[in-house]
């Protein structure tokens, strides 16, 4: 079933001060926007709209949300806000969709605008349970798998941009979809250019605030462009929910990563020793210069990173030794493969799963819009 997704829009602009924008919104009786200084170079303001249910379940725009967005963009255009290549458009998708049996999209949007204007708090009535991490894994995988196509529907300034780094497709090899967790997804986005994970095309660091953030779109104060991007995001997510993920039980065989730690680090060296046949506490201490206590702490860190079942402790008793022989005869080994039992959300089997393309279930008019956008941006 198609989900009613809640989306929060952040518009970055230049050329007009925060105070001037706030005054213009007050004069136009636009309620609920949070306008603040943006510290990105060459960007003067960020306008965060309250959470909106932009689309009905059939994909048509929610009239109340659409009219609100149009009114915001109209004011920004009228007072001379400008967009440059440093401006971005960020879309937060609520991790809890709207329960259509509890509220209609237009009523929910009106309540959301009013609640944020009056209390500076987000409206959360009528929301369902969280969308599973397995779905978000699939969304991120499909987005990253066709990153080259997404780059072509956005300006060149948004490709390999330091504020929206692409997720390395190879990172998905280190986390099986059916075992996905939000912490695991956060680790997928980390790279040498993006050590916190925040500045990714898809940012999972906002999960604690109830959203997943899509950061790649260029800045714009054109309502139609914003709606088109929000609708594409909505379609990608809903296709994963309805055609690529299901609830069930099963098991998967996973290969542990060759080494998920920084090359040459002490924990990285310890990981390699443990994965290549195992090593005793003494052998790890000799190879790394770490104390016995620090070796054990690193074992815990490794377990947290790759899963407890992947790390085997061979105790001194198992090795036929007595108490006091632990340093030399307690050893640790990382298995190359583990079998994981799953229940709940999991990927649909290959013989039934829907197409992984980002264009799956995009209607013809929207597909043609994005092809025209590519031709406009990259005419050659």
**Do 156 and 241 sit in the same domain of this protein?**
yes
What local confidence, expressed as pLDDT, does residue 108 receive? Answer: 94
What local confidence, expressed as pLDDT, does residue 306 receive? Answer: 86
CA atoms of 131 and 98, how far apart (whole Å): 11
What local confidence, expressed as pLDDT, does residue 336 receive? Answer: 93
Q: What are phi and psi of 172, to 5 degrees?
A: -70, -20
Q: Per the domain annotation, does 345 fall within a domain?
A: no
DSSP 82: B
Q: Is 256 helix (H, G, I), strand (E, B) or coil?
A: coil
Q: Per the domain annotation, does 302 fall within a domain?
A: yes
**Do 168 and 293 sit in the same domain of this protein?**
no
Domain span holding position 61: 7-247+352-377
DSSP 168: P
Q: Which CATH number do you get for residue 302?
A: 1.10.10.10
Q: Per the domain annotation, does 344 fall within a domain?
A: no
Q: Per the domain annotation, does 1 fall within a domain?
A: no
Q: What is the pLDDT along the chain (380 residues), one digit of tens a residue?
A: 789 999 999 999 999 999 999 999 999 999 999 999 999 999 999 999 999 999 999 999 999 999 999 999 999 999 999 999 999 999 999 999 999 887 788 899 999 999 999 999 999 999 999 999 999 999 999 999 999 999 999 999 999 899 999 999 999 988 888 889 999 999 999 887 888 889 999 999 999 999 999 999 999 999 999 999 999 999 999 999 999 999 876 666 778 889 999 989 999 999 999 999 999 999 999 999 999 999 999 999 999 888 888 999 988 555 555 555 568 889 999 999 888 766 689 999 999 999 999 999 999 999 999 999 999 999 98
**Do 356 and 312 sit in the same domain of this protein?**
no
CA atoms of 282 and 81, how far apart (whole Å): 65
Domain count, the chain: 2
């Amino acid at each position: 079933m198609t989900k009613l997704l809640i989306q929060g829009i952040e518009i970055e602009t230049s050329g007009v001060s925060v105070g001037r924008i706030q005054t213009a919104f007050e004069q136009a009786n636009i309620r609920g926007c949070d306008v603040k200084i943006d510290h990105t170079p060459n960007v003067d303001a960020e306008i965060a709209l309250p959470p909106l249910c932009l689309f009905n379940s059939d994909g048509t725009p929610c009239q109340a949300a659409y009219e609100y967005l149009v009114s915001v963009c109209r004011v920004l255009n009228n007072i001379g806000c400008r967009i440059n290549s440093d401006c971005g458009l960020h879309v937060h998708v609520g991790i809890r969709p709207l329960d259509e049996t509890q509220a209609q999209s237009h009523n929910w949007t009106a309540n959301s605008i009013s609640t944020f204007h009056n209390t500076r708090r987000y409206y959360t009535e009528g929301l369902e349970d969280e969308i599973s991490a397995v779905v978000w894994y699939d969304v991120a995988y499909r987005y990253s798998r066709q990153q080259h196509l997404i780059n072509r529907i956005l300006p060149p300034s948004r490709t390999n941009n330091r504020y929206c780094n692409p997720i390395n497709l190879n990172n998905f090899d280190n986390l099986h979809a059916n075992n996905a967790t939000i912490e695991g997804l956060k680790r997928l986005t980390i790279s040498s250019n993006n050590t916190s994970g925040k500045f990714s095309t898809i940012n999972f660091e906002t999960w604690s605030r109830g959203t997943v953030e899509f950061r790649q779109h260029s800045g714009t104060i054109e309502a139609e462009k914003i709606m088109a991007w929000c609708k594409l995001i909505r379609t990608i997510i809903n296709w994963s929910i309805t055609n690529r993920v299901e609830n069930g039980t099963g098991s998967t065989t996973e290969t542990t990563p060759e080494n998920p730690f920084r090359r040459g680090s002490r924990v990285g060296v310890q990981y390699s020793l443990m994965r290549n046949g195992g090593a005793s506490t003494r052998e790890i201490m000799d190879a790394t210069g770490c104390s016995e206590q620090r070796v054990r702490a690193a074992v815990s860190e490794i377990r947290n990173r790759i899963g407890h079942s992947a790390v085997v402790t061979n105790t001194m008793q198992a090795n036929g030794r007595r108490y006091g022989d632990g340093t030399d005869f307690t050893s640790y080994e990382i298995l190359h493969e583990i079998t994981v039992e799953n229940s709940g959300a999991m990927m649909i089997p290959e013989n039934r799963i829907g197409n992984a393309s980002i264009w799956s279930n995009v209607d013809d008019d929207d597909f043609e819009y994005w092809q025209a956008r590519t031709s406009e941006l990259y005419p050659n």
